[in-house]
Every structure is written in C-alpha cells, then in structure tokens.
C-alpha cells in the first residue's frame, strides 16, 4: 500500500514539474518583443543580383547581294533580383524584374 502511495506521489510530482516548466517557458516567450502589425517596415536594400537566362531563338531573313539569307538569333533575358531586409521584424523580401532582352544578332523586327 505504501508503495502505491509513493508511486502516485512521484507521478503527481512529475506531472506538476512538467506543467510548471511549460508555464515558465511560455512566460519567457511572452516577454520577447513581438512586432505589431501597425509598425512600419524598415526595408533596406541588402543585395542585387543579375542573371542571364537563355530563353530561346528565332530565325530571321535578310537580303545580301540580291540573295535571301536566313540566320538564327539567340534570345536571352537579363534578370535583376533585389533583396530587401527589415531589421525591425527580421523579415526579407525580394523583387525579380526583367532588366533587358538581349538578341545575339542585330536585326529588324518583322
């Protein structure tokens, strides 16, 4: 009988210990600064990256010495990615834009 009471007491003490440690960790988390949604972001440009992507090709015709010739023009897109960082909220965001369309050959668009 004493053994059962002892085991019950140890079980209750263990449960209380777990509950108290959970409450303590929740209080510590609640004391951390949590930014509100009304605070403005302080976006600062962190980095800029340029990347060239091969996107395709097309054929075009031109005349030379009264003869019609065909060439292939390779098309590339130069992409610009800007990364911003907010030191208030510890957030990042990025913007990717098409900076330039590059044709490998100089030709008239038909």
State pLDDT tens for residues 31-46: 555 555 667 888 999 9
pTM of the model: 0.54
CA distance 109 to 96: 27
CA distance 77 to 104: 11
- In tens, the pLDDT along 62-96 reads 889 999 999 999 999 999 999 999 988 888 999 99
Residues with Cβ within 8 Å of 71's Cβ and at least 6 positions away in sequence, in order, are 59, 60, 62, 105, 107
pLDDT mean over 42-56: 92
Which ranges in 1-110 belong to alpha helices (H)? 2-31
pLDDT at site 35: 57
| Residue ranges per structural domain of the chain | 42-110
pLDDT at site 37: 60
The first and second tokens of residue 32, run together, are 């951390």
* Rg (alpha carbons) of the chain, rounded to whole number: 33
């Amino acid at each position: 009988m004493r053994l059962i009471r002892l085991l019950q007491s140890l079980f209750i003490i263990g449960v209380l210990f777990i509950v108290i440690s959970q409450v303590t960790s929740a209080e510590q988390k609640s004391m951390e600064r949590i930014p509100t949604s009304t605070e403005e972001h302080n976006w600062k440009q962190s980095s800029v990256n340029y990347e060239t992507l091969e996107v395709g090709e097309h054929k075009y015709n031109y005349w030379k010495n009264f003869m019609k010739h065909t060439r292939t023009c390779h098309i590339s897109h130069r992409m610009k990615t800007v990364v911003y960082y907010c030191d208030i909220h510890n957030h990042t965001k990025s913007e990717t834009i098409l900076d330039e369309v590059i044709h490998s050959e100089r030709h008239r668009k038909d």
